[in-house]
Amino acid sequence: MKLLRYGLPGFEKPGLMHADGTVRDLSDHIADISAATLSPLMLEQLRGLDIEGLPMVEKPGRIGACIGHPGKCICIGLNYSDHAAETGATPPNQPIIFAKAVTAICGPYDDVEMPRGSDALDWEVELAVVMGDTAKYVSEEDALNYVAGYAVMNDVSERTFQTKLEGQWTKGKSHDTFGPIGPWLVTTDELPDPHNLDMWLDVNGERRQTGNTNTLIFNVPQVISYLSRFMTLKPGDIISTGTPPGVAMGMKPPQWLKEGDVMTLGIDGLGEQKQTVVAA
């Protein structure tokens, strides 16, 4: 299934993308695409619905973040060896973990704000994992059983805030609109293996990032198992798994985003996003 949310910010409704390209309304069956509706049991009930009989949404308008009200968003840094190389970093021996504030999460076509004082705004196409069950001390072998689905995410970053201000990376990752996710959540029955997906990102029509999830240093089961040692992962939590090479920070000289720039990005089977950079 491809689950999505449509409507104005704060008033999104749950929907399903039909194979014919139409959006079908799920409001009569669930209140939202969120923690309460991502359990294996609930997803199985949704799969059993008569999709043809669901109301068609004629004009869905804005597409919101594909997951509503996530409890936390945990990101993995330097998780592609070629991205680590372009930034001059040594590939890590263990996953690098940082947090992105959930207030950064937004829709896949929403504008991305350039923070006040920003001089190094960057892009990062990433595979996002959305949890569907509570995971604590899970094994790598069982880890994928706790996943509800996958989505495209742009881990927008302000590199000066991230690397030159004292403290941790979170301050460079958490401005409002720094987490576009969607357009939809693809459930695991449609995407059983997330480890061979082409991914890309363009800025103003020029290709900047090209990669594939088969070059992840730490794959999805490893990341979930590792995180579950340090924190309980809950339904609706987002894990953003890292970005391939081609970010602005790795260019010589860096080509930071500026107001009016347009980012277009996507991952095979997970859809595409598009954002315009605006002043905060």
pLDDT, tens digit (0-9, with 9 covering 90-100), for 104-153:
999 999 999 999 999 999 999 999 999 999 999 999 999 999 999 999 99
Is 66 part of a structural domain of the chain? no
Q: 69 vs 72, 103, 174, CA distance in Å?
A: 9, 9, 15
Do 34 and 146 lie in one domain? The reply is no
Do 81 and 206 lie in one domain? The reply is yes
Evaluated on CA atoms 7, 8, 9, 12, the torsion sign reads negative
Do 47 and 79 lie in one domain? The reply is no
**Total count of domains within the chain:** 2
pLDDT band with cut points at 50, 70 and 90 for residue 89: confident
Do 176 and 274 lie in one domain? The reply is yes
Residue 86 has pLDDT above 90, yes or no: no
Whole-number Å distance between alpha carbons of 55 and 44? 20
Dihedral over alpha carbons 79, 77, 117, 66 (to 10 degrees): 80
Do 188 and 123 lie in one domain? The reply is yes
Mean pLDDT over residues 39-45, rounded? 95
pLDDT of res. 83: 77
pLDDT, tens digit (0-9, with 9 covering 90-100), for 221-255:
999 999 999 999 999 999 999 999 999 999 999 99
Residue 82 has pLDDT above 90, yes or no: no
Is 269 part of a structural domain of the chain? yes
Task: Indicate the average pLDDT of the chain.
Answer: 96
Is 151 part of a structural domain of the chain? yes
Do 47 and 105 lie in one domain? The reply is no
Whole-number Å distance between alpha carbons of 203 and 170? 24
Do 112 and 9 lie in one domain? The reply is no
pTM above 0.75, yes or no: yes
What 8-state DSSP symbol labels residue 89? P
pLDDT of res. 268: 97
Do 17 and 98 lie in one domain? The reply is no
Do 46 and 166 lie in one domain? The reply is no
Do 160 and 23 lie in one domain? The reply is no
Q: How many CB atoms lie within 10 A of CB 7?
A: 17
Which is more confidently placed, 1 or 86? 1
Is 212 part of a structural domain of the chain? yes
Do 192 and 149 lie in one domain? The reply is yes
pLDDT, tens digit (0-9, with 9 covering 90-100), for 174-203:
999 999 999 999 999 999 999 999 999 999
Is 160 part of a structural domain of the chain? yes
Tokens in use for 254?
Answer: 């860096």
ω into 183 cis (within 30 of 0): yes
**Residue whose structure tokens are 């800025």:** 203
Is 91 part of a structural domain of the chain? yes
Do 47 and 96 lie in one domain? The reply is no
Is 117 part of a structural domain of the chain? yes
CATH number at residue 189: 3.90.850.10
Which residue segment(s) compose the domain that 37 sits in? 2-57
Instruction: Give the end of a domain, one of 12, 30, 57.
Output: 57
E strands in the chain: 2-6, 13-17, 23-25, 56-57, 73-77, 96-100, 105-106, 112-114, 121-122, 125-131, 147-154, 157-158, 179-180, 185-187, 198-203, 206-212, 238-240, 262-267, 271-279
